[in-house]
Structure 1
Amino acid sequence: MELTWHGHSTWHVAVGDTSLLIDPFFGNPHTSLDPADVETPDYVLLTHGHADHVGDLGAFTDATVVGTPELTAWAADEHGADDTIGMNMGGTVECGDAYVTMHRADHTNGINTDYEYSGGPPTGYVIGDTVPTQETDEDAFAFYHAGDTGLMSEMRDVIAPFLEPDVAALPVGDHFTMGPAQAAIAVDWLDVDHVLPMHYDTFPPIEIDIEQLEREVAATGSDAEVHVLDGDETVGFDRSYADE
């Protein structure tokens, strides 16, 4: 699995021959790319309707748009997305070579348009190369994109034991989401091997000392490795890497 951070909460995920783009928003200081520079993915996954997560959706409506029914209806009505998958929390859908499970995020939601849309509940996704089951598959690999969220006990009680992510992308910028201290607790609860910080240093309210995350993770006793990526940087993971 290859993961590319395009700044803020925008990720490109490659699973086998399938490409997924999460929360397209290229108007952030961590990327040098314009939407026109990005090859259309097979799927676009939306966590919620805030502008810094859907701002560039209009450039990718040839892809299949995945989100809550409220978000996919908005994508069809406002952006002409012809191919959508409306799903809800707890559900898993097969997206090419990837299995996408939607989970809740503790946040707010809303879409700023002339027509009042409900975006439905904010969400996150666990993206795996096999369908999640109660039987642990030692060869399976999964990536958790937490969306915009605060710390929540479901990370410890549901996501970690049943969805078993190996790598987590967590918001760490504070103010609107978790900051480094609570994100570090999330890392410990999720029991992941690797953590990728996101949703920081985009706007003044979420500018932080990113090294604080590494200190906070170490303070929990977790041995997870913190990967602070540059914008548009790609990191590859497989089962052997996740077990390091």
Structure 2
Amino acid sequence: MSKITFYGHACFCVELADGTRLLFDPFITPNELAKDVDVAAIEADYVLITHGHADHIADAEDILRRTGATLISNFEIVTWFGGKGIEQAHPMNHGGGFGFPFGRVTYVNAIHSSSLPDGSYGGNPGGFVIETANETFHVSGDTALHADQKILGERFKLDFAVLCIGDNFTMGPADAALAAEWLHVKKVVGVHYDTFPPIEIDHDKARGEFAQRGVELLLPAIGETVEL
């Protein structure tokens, strides 16, 4: 079983059964809701970035330098970090997969936008499917509901998904619940909600949207670890 620690917004770490730590979309220090998280104590073997917006990469450079983790993202983001001296990295693009020591990563479609904090081109936004010896899961990144989520549900046997649910900039709870149904998952960890006023949600109502489709929505507190 994997352990997921939520660090606020869309940042979380998945500790795989073999001990490998996958940190996604590190945005912690600018997030007032995550003020009690000690960023310097976060360890990672890999840092996976879905797209280039500042609310997904704010702490990435510092964490990559401190931990020596390998960056996994699209070609443009990897190139941008390369310009900052981050060379331990693996670029990907949509539909492509690659086998890492912990398992296979596939970079998949997301419907959103992407630019880097300095205004440079961030490539197309994406999500990930992670396949390990013990489980397979999907991380949506920031996205709208889209029909490719049906394809992922057919292509992969997913054990769980991490989906954006905050509405306004991404799927809201109703669309994310439908995405979960298309993905054929029964457990979802919700992310990208409550950080800013436009994406504040009613937690009970959100859980209800998922429950109507037979899916459990997990909303861990910032700093909380859950097992899946």
Distance 1:197 1:6, change over 3 A: same
Distance 1:98 1:5, change over 3 A: farther
Which consecutive segments of 4 or more residues in structure 1 shift more than 4 A? none
Q: Deviations over 1:194-238 (max 9, x none)?
A: 01111000011111102112211233xx2221212111211222x
Q: In the alignment, is the contact (CA less than 8 A) between 1:31 and 1:231 conserved in 2? A: no
Specify the alignment match of 1:93 in structure 2: 98
TM superposition score normalised by structure 1: 0.86
Specify the alignment match of 2:166 in structure 1: 173
Identity in percent? 38
TM superposition score normalised by structure 2: 0.92
What runs of 5+ residues in structure 1 fail to find an aligned partner?
Answer: 131-139, 238-244
Q: Where in structure 2 are the equivalents of 1:160-239 lying within 5 Å?
A: 160-219=153-212, 222-237=213-228
Q: In the alignment, is the contact (CA less than 8 A) between 2:166 and 2:192 conserved in 1? A: yes
Specify the alignment match of 1:66 in structure 2: 72
What is the CA-CA distance between 1:164 and the residue it aligns to? Answer: 2.2
What is the CA-CA distance between 1:143 and the residue it aligns to? Answer: 1.7
Q: In the alignment, is the contact (CA less than 8 A) between 2:177 and 2:215 conserved in 1? A: no
Amino acid corresponding to residue 186 of structure 2 in structure 1? D
What is the CA-CA distance between 1:189 and the residue it aligns to? Answer: 1.1
RMSD of Structure 2 on Structure 1 (CA): 1.4
Specify the alignment match of 1:37 in structure 2: 41
What is the CA-CA distance between 1:98 and the residue it aligns to? Answer: 2.8
Q: In the alignment, is the contact (CA less than 8 A) between 1:111 and 1:119 conserved in 2? A: yes
Residues of 2 paired with 1:230 and 1:4: CA distance? 9
- 1:121 and 2:140 equivalent? no
Residues of 2 paired with 1:200 and 1:97: CA distance? 29
Residues of 2 paired with 1:178 and 1:152: CA distance? 10
Match 1:24 to one of 5, 23, 26: 26
Residues of 2 paired with 1:9 and 1:58: CA distance? 17
Amino acid corresponding to residue 36 of structure 2 in structure 1? S
Residues of 2 paired with 1:128 and 1:230: CA distance? 26
- 1:14 and 2:4 equivalent? no
Aligned residue-pair number: 221
Mean alpha-carbon deviation: is it higher for 144-153 or for 27-36?
Answer: 27-36
What is the CA-CA distance between 1:77 and the residue it aligns to? Answer: 0.7
Distance 1:30 1:211, change over 3 A: farther
Q: Deviations over 1:149-185 (max 9, x none)?
A: 01011111x1101122211111111110011111111
SS at match of 1:13: strand
